[in-house]
Amino acid sequence: MSAAVTERLVDLLVELVDMPCVTGDEERIACWLADRYDARDEPVRRVGNSVVVGEAVDERPVVLLVGHTDVVPPTDGDLPARVQGDRVIGRGTSDMKAGLAVAMDLFEDDALRDGPVQLQLIAYAGEEGPHEGNELAPLLEARPELCDAALGIVLEPTDLEVQLGCMGGLHAHVVVPGRAAHSARPWLGVNALTAAAPLLAALDRRQPVDRQVDHLGFRDVVTATRAWTDNAHNVVPDRFTINVNYRFAPDRTLADAEAELRAMVTELADAGVTVDIVDRAPPAPPHRDHVLVRRMIAAAGGRVTAKQAWTDVARLAAVGVPALNYGPGLTGQAHQAGEYVPVGNLAPARGALAEFIATATGDGAHVV
């Protein structure tokens, strides 16, 4: 891959990173994307602050290049974007403006657009916020023709690996009951906070559970991520709430996982503890045997692992579109202060994707 390609990708990435677009503030980048492709006479459809570019015009299979535009709030060292040595530094460089830059550059390549698949670019808002604020679901609902795509490629950070499937996730508010009393006379009450100690210790001791799905290793994990009381500082709390996050492999449904989590808390906690599921995100199957997935794995040099996280491949799978994760970003840099992406990851990611796009349905491959 030429130095000119790397330079072009770096310049585009810096431009994208320098557009502030913390979750909920994506209008500027949505307008910028719409204007960019309007000027290129591309079909542009906007749903909220999300943009779809391109359309299916013939019988060739459609491949979706999918990236979110929003980022988590930057720290002082995360802006402006800058190139230092072999890194591009700035909020969103790895998660996932580098992937978005690669997707845009591929979509703008006329030679690839004339190849065996049709490309459509999806740049959507709200991925880093609450599940219900993610705009990919309403976008797919508003543009149902996207659900006929042969494959979705979500350009999340994957360290240049093809990462298949994704974990499902549940957030539950687990409430440990007590009885209120003045803190000067605690013997008149039952302290819900200290009563929760055995449950917290049990959750901390619980080990990840290894799962195999399509010969890929996923790990179920349960984590206490937040805890709080609603009482004044001089009151023995009558309830203590723990947010428990359950990440589970894609060999079970949301209903299965919810039943498992409730049973788990019941086993670990004293009677009277309640479980309220407050957020649900479905898993996605790996689709490892799908012909296009196999071809993308080959184009990436055979590097394939399970996605030990949740991504929007799950939303695509829910509407019948097989999808995979592949991008130039580093998973370990997501949301880090001083976030960066290696310059050397940009062109190889583009090259692997370009090879896949150019050969996706060749040599007798059959897309079903």
Q: Which one is catalytic: 26, 95, 127, 128?
A: 127
Residue 206, Cα to own-chain centre: how many angstroms?
A: 25
| Count of alpha carbons within 13 angstroms of residue 12, beta-carbon side | 23
Give the residue carrying structure tokens 């980022």: 71
- Which residue ranges make up each domain of the chain? 3-165+284-359, 168-281
Six-digit token pair at 242? 């723990």
State which CATH number among 3.30.70.890, 3.30.300.350, 3.90.950.20, 3.40.630.10 fits the domain covering 3-165+284-359. 3.40.630.10
d(CA 147, CA 145): 5
**In the prediction, which pLDDT does 363 show?**
46
70 a catalytic residue? yes
Residue pair 253/181 in contact (Cβ under 8 Å)? The answer is no
Residue pair 200/211 in contact (Cβ under 8 Å)? The answer is no
Residues 122-166: pLDDT tens digits? 999 999 988 889 999 999 999 999 999 999 999 999 999 999 999
d(CA 235, CA 193): 11
**In the prediction, which pLDDT does 101 show?**
98
**In the prediction, which pLDDT does 1 show?**
55
**In the prediction, which pLDDT does 220 show?**
98
d(CA 32, CA 29): 5
267 a catalytic residue? no
Residues 333-362: pLDDT tens digits? 999 999 999 999 999 999 999 999 999 875
Task: For residue 110, count CB atoms less than 10 angstroms from its CB and return exposed for 0-12, middle for 13-18, buried for 19 or more.
Answer: exposed
Q: What percent of the chain has pLDDT over 90?
A: 93
Parallel/antiparallel/unpaired status of strands 44-47 and 50-53: antiparallel
d(CA 66, CA 96): 10
- CATH fold of 168-281: Alpha-Beta Plaits (3.30.70)
Among residues 322, 252, 315, the alpha carbon closest in space to that of 290 is found at 322
Q: Which one is catalytic: 70, 156, 161, 312?
A: 70
Total residue length of the chain: 368
pLDDT beneath 50, residues of the chain? 363-368
d(CA 53, CA 49): 13
Residues 206-221: pLDDT tens digits? 999 999 999 999 999 9
Residues 72-81: pLDDT tens digits? 999 988 989 9
d(CA 317, CA 298): 22
